[in-house]
Structure formats: C-alpha cells, structure tokens
Structure 1
Amino acid sequence: AHGDFLTLGAYLAYWLFSSARIDPVVSILIVAPLLFAVGAGVYKATVSRVLKAPLLNQLLLTFGIAMIIEEAINLIWTSRPRNVYVDYASASASIGSFRFGTYEFVYLAAAVGLLLLLRFFLKHTKLGKAAFAVGQNPKGAKIVGINVEMIYLLIFSISTGIVGIASGLVLPRMSIFPLVGAPFSLKSFCLAAMAGLGNLTGILWSGLVLGIGEELIKSIEGYSGWADIVFFGVLIAVITIRSYRRSYA
C-alpha cells in the first residue's frame, strides 16, 4: 500500500501548496512526519493484528488499505488530475547539444541520500541492528530480548515517513490523481524481488538501471509505450536466470 501512501502524501503537499502556498519540497517537513504518524496508526489498527496470519491474508489486508486510501482521496479531492507549478521543476541545463532537466538530479540525490542513511541506520545503530535481526529471524530476536512489536511499528512508520519525503519531491513534476501511486507499489515489489529483500545496495542499482532504461526507451519517438514491457521483461529474465542458477548450483 506504500504507493497509495505516496498518493496521500502528494495530495497533502498539494493541499498545503494550494491553501498556504507552501512549496512542495518545503512541505516535506510537514508531510513526512504526518505520514509517519499515519503509518504508525495504520500499523497499530490493522497490520499488527495479522502478523501471525498467512502471508496471503497480510497481502490482502494491504490491498484493502490501498483501496480505502484511493477511495478516500477520490471522495475528498475527486478524480480530476491536480498539478503544482514551480519554476525550478522545469529548469534545464545543456552540455553541447545534449539538454536535460536539472530537477531529476534532486530525485537522484534524495534517493541515494536516503538509501545511505538507511544503510547507516541498519548497520551502525542499535535500533537498526535490532531491526535487521528481526528481519532475519523474528523468533530468535525475541529470544535475545528485542521488542519485536516495537521494531515492526518503527520500521513501518519510517517507511511511510520516507514515502512522505518522496511525495513532496515528485509532486512538482507529475499530475496526481487517486491511482497515481499504484505503479510505484507494483514496481517497488519488482525491485525487491529483483535485488532481494534487505539488499539496499542491490535495490539502488536495480532501480537506477531499470529507471535509466525506461527513460531511454521513452525518449525514442514512437516507442514510449514499450517502457513498461521492457521493465517487466528484464525483471522476468533476471528472476528466471537466478532461479535456474540456484537449481543447478
């Protein structure tokens, strides 16, 4: 449901811009803590109650949460696409005959910076090491005294808070509507499957390679519709090759 949390954060940033003229990037300071709190509330009210249920039940719950968010946004803001216009979002630079948008580098810097911070948190802080231990072996972590419930709550809340940061960054460059976050949810699942759960470096490189590939295909006149086909084609190929190598290792 994190793609729909992204949608919610983008609409909150849009509302702050339209009502109080708060810049979308500045609104991150408000939206990220709000989504952190929303994530904590959603976890305590719903997710925490199905942790011992089968994985399919957990997935169905998250899809239900996503649908609730989508319908709530539709009721409040309607399905009409919304836009925010800020000058810096359309800024560009050129090297020789090659022209490119400069705001995309903000995306890149934010993604790399957040991943580095997450890596530092997981590897070099007590809470991060506890979270890593819970991810590897929840029962073992509980035996050695780690508060597993608290770690689950913290990580879920941090993840929705990070989505709040992303929502303020993407708003200036995209139209938003109730279903705008769905592709992000799908592709995040794909990146996790491609790189492996918990492999932050692998997720970074997978995201960069697939993202650059998508944009290159979109830049070819008449072939923009092939971008998603190539994305999922590469994903299928990687998973198939990995499974083949493991079965014959």
Structure 2
Amino acid sequence: MSLVSKLKQSNYQIAIISVILIVVLGSWKPHVLVEGFQRACLYAVIALPMALILGIVGIINLAHGEYMMLGAYFAYSLNVYIGMDPLVAIVPALIAFFLIGMASYRAIIKYVLGTPELNQLLLTFGLAMVLEQMANLIWTSRPIKLPLQYVSASATIGSFTFGTYEFIYVGAAMVVLVGLQLFLKRTSMGQAALAVGQNPRGAKLVGIHVDRTYLLVFSLSIALIGALGAIFMTRHSIFPLVGAPFTMKSFCLIAMAGIGNLRGILWCS
C-alpha cells in the first residue's frame, strides 16, 4: 500500500471516529455538543484574519486580539453616543478598521517585514501593550456589557434548551471563510495575494506590486477582526485585556491547521 493510500485511509478512520464521537456526545449531552460547536466557530472566525496575515504577509501579529478589543469598544461607543445597535455597527467598524489597518501597516508593520521573527514578535507585542493601555485610558479597566435583550434568545427541543443567538458565530465563521476563499480564488487581487504569499520575489518579477498587496491584505484582516469585535461584545463583557487570550488561541489553531489552510482552522477549532 502506498503512502498516499495509507494517509487517505487514516483520514477516513479519523473522520469515522469523529462522527461516532459526535453522535455519542450528542445523544448523551446535547447541550455540550451545541455549545462546543458555537464556541468553536467563535474561535475559528477570530483566527481566520490572523491566518490571512500570517499566510500572505508573513508576520506574526501579537496585537491581533487587541484590534478585536478596539472593535468591541468602537461598537460600544457608537451604541452609547448615537444609539446604534452593535450588529449594525459592523458596517462602520469594517470601514474604520480598514483605515486603521492601513495606518498600522504604513506606520509600523511595513518596517519589520523580512526581518527576523523575534523583531516582529517584539514589535507587535509592544503594539498590543500600547493598544491595551490606550483602551484603559479612554474606557478604563472596568468591564462593560450592554444589556441587549435579543442575546438571551433560546430554543427548546424536548427537555433540551439551548441558546440560539450564539449561532451568529456559526454564521459569521461561514461568511468569513467563504468570503475569503472567493476573494483569494476568484478575484485578481486575491490571486495576486496568493502569488505574493508563495513567492514575493517571483510575484514582483511578473509585475505584482508586493507592498500594495501586503497593505491590502493586512488592512482587510484588521477590518474583519474589528467588525468581529462588534459581534463579540453583544454577548460578552469587554475590558482592555479581553483580546489577549484570543491571540494565543488563534495562533494555536493556525499551528494545528497549518499556515494557509483556512478551512483547516474551522475543523481544528
């Protein structure tokens, strides 16, 4: 039996075992299965923008969770000052954080591309600290949570009751995953980004503007994570340090799935 056949057989065995475990868990403790699936999609959708940056720009962004935290505070501020629902604030958050991503790339990230990984880690860790302290100065360290009634929606099937609002994470994960796949495979800018991620020098030789592509990908990723912050804050309390754990969880998911494997992140979560 060839190595490829053995790998395929191993994958089939893993898939069968996974299905059996899901069926057993679903029949034994269905609430654990549903809540675990919802939580997994939350982790996956937060990790996807980080995977895009790491796979194409090639930088480890330790300030990833802090951009999500700022997106949550951005949606909170719009709700407090102009009464905008956090879910509606997703649209202005996308625009605002795309511009923030552009500014971050031009002022900071651009200068550590191609440098040793330690330099990137130190710089983005310092950026994370700056963003945390900035949020602490503006909004204080007190946890904030908006009293939104629709987040407590639930459904009952027999004796099993589960929250339905959290399925927004499932929808967000699918939208972001499919959107990124279509962007990378069906658009000229996405295909240019893939080429740059695989071979920046070769991409430059065929006329692709590498720096502009890095700018686009980084800004798009920051826009996505900022908008996800608006979704996150509808269900969770926010404070300056809320994003830090998600940076590490995102990095772990990317490591398990493999750099550039967007669909693998959803499975690994």
Q: What amino acid maps onto 1:42 in structure 2?
A: S
> 1:188 deviation in Å?
0.7
> 1:162 deviation in Å?
0.4
The answer on whether the counterparts of 1:2 and 1:185 sit within 8 Å (CA) in structure 2 is yes
1:50 maps onto 2:120 in alignment: no
Matches within 5 A, 1:82-231: 82-207=144-269
**Relative contact order (C-alpha < 8 Å, sep 6+): which is higher?**
2
The runs of 5 or more residues in structure 2 that have no matched partner are 1-62
> 1:50 deviation in Å?
1.2
Task: Encode CA deviations 1:185-211: one digit per residue, 9 max, x unaligned.
Answer: 11111111000111111011112xxxx
> 1:133 deviation in Å?
1.0
Runs of 4+ in structure 1 off by over 4 angstroms are none
User: How many residues are aligned here?
Assistant: 207
- Equivalent position of 1:79 in the other structure: 141
> 1:55 deviation in Å?
1.4
- Equivalent position of 2:20 in the other structure: none
Q: Structure 2 CA distance, aligned partners of 1:196 and 1:138? A: 20
Q: What amino acid maps onto 2:166 in structure 1?
A: E
SS in 1 for 2:208: coil
The answer on whether the counterparts of 1:4 and 1:66 sit within 8 Å (CA) in structure 2 is yes
What's the RMSD between the two structures over aligned residues?
0.8
The answer on whether the counterparts of 1:3 and 1:182 sit within 8 Å (CA) in structure 2 is yes
Q: Structure 2 CA distance, aligned partners of 1:35 and 1:124? A: 24
> 1:52 deviation in Å?
2.6
Identity %: 56
Q: Structure 2 CA distance, aligned partners of 1:32 and 1:4? A: 15
The answer on whether the counterparts of 1:112 and 1:204 sit within 8 Å (CA) in structure 2 is no
Q: What amino acid maps onto 1:69 in structure 2?
A: L
The runs of 5 or more residues in structure 1 that have no matched partner are 208-249
- Equivalent position of 1:219 in the other structure: none
- Equivalent position of 2:46 in the other structure: none
Q: Structure 2 CA distance, aligned partners of 1:102 and 1:25? A: 16
> 1:63 deviation in Å?
0.7
SS in 2 for 1:100: strand
SS in 2 for 1:178: coil
SS in 1 for 2:162: strand
SS in 2 for 1:99: strand
- Equivalent position of 1:21 in the other structure: 83
SS in 2 for 1:94: strand
**What TM-score do the two structures reach when normalised by structure 2?**
0.76
Task: Encode CA deviations 1:72-97: one digit per residue, 9 max, x unaligned.
Answer: 00011110001111111110111111
Q: Structure 1 CA distance, aligned partners of 2:118 and 2:192? A: 26
Q: Structure 2 CA distance, aligned partners of 1:8 and 1:166? A: 10
The answer on whether the counterparts of 1:34 and 1:161 sit within 8 Å (CA) in structure 2 is yes
Q: Structure 2 CA distance, aligned partners of 1:57 and 1:205? A: 31
Task: Encode CA deviations 1:203-222: one digit per residue, 9 max, x unaligned.
Answer: 11112xxxxxxxxxxxxxxx
- Equivalent position of 1:220 in the other structure: none
**What TM-score do the two structures reach when normalised by structure 1?**
0.81
Q: What amino acid maps onto 2:150 in structure 1?
A: Y
Aligned counterpart in structure 1 of residue 97 of structure 2, from 20, 25, 35 = 35
Task: Encode CA deviations 1:220-241: one digit per residue, 9 max, x unaligned.
Answer: xxxxxxxxxxxxxxxxxxxxxx
Q: What amino acid maps onto 1:153 in structure 2?
A: L
